Amino acid sequence: MMIPTTVPIDGDRIWSMIENTDKVDDGEVREVLAAAREMKGLSSRQAAVLCGISDPELLSELFTTAREVKEAIYGQRLVIFSPLYVSNLCANDCAYCSFRATNRSIKRRALDQDEIRHEAEMLIEQGHKRVLLVAGESYPREGFDYVLKAIDSVYAAKVGAGEIRRINVNVAPLSVDEFRQLGDHRIGTYQIFQETYHRDTYVRVHLRGKKTDYDWRISAIDRAFAAGIDDVGIGVLFGLADWRYELLAMLQHIRHLENHHGIGPHTISVPRLEPAEGADLASHPPQPVSDLDFRKIVAVLRLTVPYTGIIMSTRETAEIRRETFALGVSQISAGSRTNPGGYAKGEAEDEGTQFSLGDHRSLDEVIRDVAELGYIPSFCTGCYRLGRTGADFMDLAKPGAIRHHCDPNALSTFTEYLCDYGSEGTKQAGEVCINSVLAKMEGSVRARAEEMIRKVRDGQRDVFC
Ligand code: SAM
Ligand code: SF4
């Protein structure tokens, strides 16, 4: 099969769907919400109708529906991960990012392999099991091999029984051959954000380097699939162009992937522009997204692609993060640093960061907060370790059967965290959370979860089904 060299985004169709939402009456909105409750996903037109809601009563119905669907599919689980920035060297010039080549105000650094392993050890000591490896688009002398070695270094890190069990990767678009090499290195998800699907805006904000090529970037996931990577994540950097355009264009991208490869992305990320040193545009987003619209984005995505994970990073404040967990978010980062070497240095020294964070709490504080809200923080890596990825994962996810695995796995990995890393307060909050989740589980799944928790408490580690 020919590998697509671009993804056609039909801008006229998107604008006409957005304009037509003015003509939609309340009855039609409610019909779309009723269709969403069936959890089979929505068409682009239906998603556009939901984007157009402004009436407070209908908005509240949108949020209620999103909460119901989120709860039915994902239960109370929230997957926890941490980014690991290995290098801030970059040959591109993205007007919104501190790592842009023309920014002379930050200190440049590519960690060596020992330093990378040390960063991984710091994350393991906090209790992390899942890492997102991040780099600018320019590697030290060894070229792309640098990224492959970095993956090996992170997997090699061990502290007692602690280890990183899954590495997702967010690096610049690769060739098919490079994607093959990446796939051979046991990665979890390959993640790439188009930043903006609006071509004119894209050209305006990407000023230099390979990233100026819109088509090379948008076709990256096609090359990843062609190379055998079937677990991919996409995203938009919200604030660059009209958020409704971005959301509907991202749906066209998803349909393109489904049509060509039979499967869509595993995750969608929804970063909003945050201030970044030496990148003024980030402090003055051309099309700022209000908190209300941001919640709408999460809710509409949850209803339109119900089985696709939604990732929320520490760019957002604790408050926004809490609100969006209920509306649809399924994965969150915690205790993050966005500068290479940031975990070894600590927060006091934040030289060379990519952008400023909204949530500065430690992993333990986030875990406690999440547990007190009734969510189970999950460090599970079961599906990926058992090869349940791509179409296999979706087949399992769609009828809801995945909960029979995910809920017990979430509880056993949370118990592992509490036993090995939890503070006293977090342990107490965690126990209450675990008992209340167990009480709501049905017979055989509950028995399986209790057995797995017992094994972890007895000292066994890495218990999953
Ligand atoms: N350099 C690679 C690239 O651009 O694809 C991969 C990693 S880049 C460090 C990760 C993501 O950070 C980018 O895709 C972009 O969406 C996001 N980002 C950059 N500047 C940001 C800012 N000021 N606020 C929020 N997110 C930002
Ligand atoms: Fe470089 Fe990525 Fe930042 Fe652009 S977003 S300047 S490519 S690190």
What digits encode the pLDDT tens for the residues 123-154? Answer: 999 999 999 999 999 999 899 999 999 999 99
- With a cut of 90, say whether residue 393 has pLDDT above it: no
Assess contact for 224 and 264: CB atoms under 8 A. no
Whether the CB of 90 sits within 6 Å of ligand 2? yes
Tell me the pLDDT tens digit for each residue of 48-57: 999 999 999 9
The pLDDT value recorded for residue 406 is 86
- With a cut of 70, say whether residue 281 has pLDDT above it: yes
The pLDDT value recorded for residue 347 is 57
- With a cut of 80, say whether residue 356 has pLDDT above it: no
Handedness of CA 281, 283, 288, 289 (dihedral sign): positive
The number of the ligand nearest the C-alpha atom of 208 reads: 2
Rg over alpha carbons for the chain, rounded to the nearest Å, is: 21
- With a cut of 60, say whether residue 10 has pLDDT above it: yes
The rounded Å distance from CA 160 to ligand 2 centre is 35
Assess contact for 78 and 330: CB atoms under 8 A. yes
Tell me the pLDDT tens digit for each residue of 286-323: 999 999 999 999 999 999 999 999 999 888 888 898 89
3-state per-residue secondary structure call for 384-425: HHCCCCHHHHHHHHCCCCHHHHHHHHHHHHHHHHHHHCCCHH
- Residue range 388-417: average pLDDT? 78
Closest alpha carbon to 447 in 411, 413, 416: 411
The pLDDT > 70 percentage for the chain reads 96
Q: H or E stretch including 191?
A: strand 187-191
Whether the CB of 147 sits within 6 Å of ligand 1? no
**Backbone angle region of 366, left / alpha / beta, with phi > 0 → left and psi within -120 to 50 → alpha:** alpha
Q: How confident is the model at residue 357 (pLDDT cuts 50, 70, 90)?
A: confident
Q: Which two tokens stand for residue 69?
A: 């669907």
- With a cut of 90, say whether residue 353 has pLDDT above it: no
Whether the CB of 99 sits within 6 Å of ligand 2? yes
Tell me the pLDDT tens digit for each residue of 23-51: 999 999 999 999 999 999 999 999 999 99
3-state secondary structure of 51: helix
Tell me the pLDDT tens digit for each residue of 79-111: 999 999 999 999 999 999 999 999 999 999 999
The pLDDT value recorded for residue 358 is 82
Q: Which of 88, 94, 170 to mutate to test the pocket of ligand 2 (most atoms within 8 A of CB)?
A: 94
Measured torsion, CA atoms of residues 462, 111, 186, 421, in degrees rounded to the nearest 10: 10
Report how far residue 160's alpha carbon sits from residue 419's, in angstroms, rounded to the nearest whole number: 13
What is the residue-wise DSSP string for 286-303? SS---HHHHHHHHHHHHH
User: CA dist 278 to 13, 96, 203, Å?
Assistant: 36, 9, 19
Report how far residue 120's alpha carbon sits from residue 156's, in angstroms, rounded to the nearest whole number: 9
Tell me the pLDDT tens digit for each residue of 421-434: 999 999 999 999 99
Q: Which of 97, 109, 236, 314 to mutate to test the pocket of ligand 1 (most atoms within 8 A of CB)?
A: 97
Whether the CB of 195 sits within 6 Å of ligand 2? no
Closest ligand 2 atom number to CA of residue 209 = 7
Closest ligand 1 atom number to CA of residue 137 = 1
- With a cut of 90, say whether residue 346 has pLDDT above it: no
- Average pLDDT over the chain reads 93
Contacts (Cβ under 8 Å, ≥6 apart) of 103: 277, 278, 279
The pLDDT > 90 percentage for the chain reads 82
Q: Which of 109, 193, 208 to mutate to test the pocket of ligand 1 (most atoms within 8 A of CB)?
A: 193
- With a cut of 90, say whether residue 187 has pLDDT above it: yes
Assess contact for 325 and 305: CB atoms under 8 A. no
Report how far residue 117's alpha carbon sits from residue 335's, in angstroms, rounded to the nearest whole number: 18
The rounded Å distance from CA 97 to ligand 1 centre is 7
The pLDDT value recorded for residue 401 is 63
- Residue range 379-394: average pLDDT? 75
Q: What are phi and psi of 377, to 5 degrees?
A: -70, 125
Q: Which of 198-207, 342-351, 362-371 has the lowest mean pLDDT?
A: 342-351
Whether the CB of 211 sits within 6 Å of ligand 2? yes
Q: What residue has token string 């990148």?
A: 279
Whether the CB of 92 sits within 6 Å of ligand 2? yes
The pLDDT value recorded for residue 255 is 97
Closest alpha carbon to 50 in 295, 347, 354, 219: 295
DSSP-H helix ranges across 42-144: 44-51, 56-74, 113-126
Q: What residue has token string 């903006």?
A: 196
Q: What are phi and psi of 378, to 5 degrees?
A: -115, 135
Contacts (Cβ under 8 Å, ≥6 apart) of 217: 173, 192, 194, 195, 211
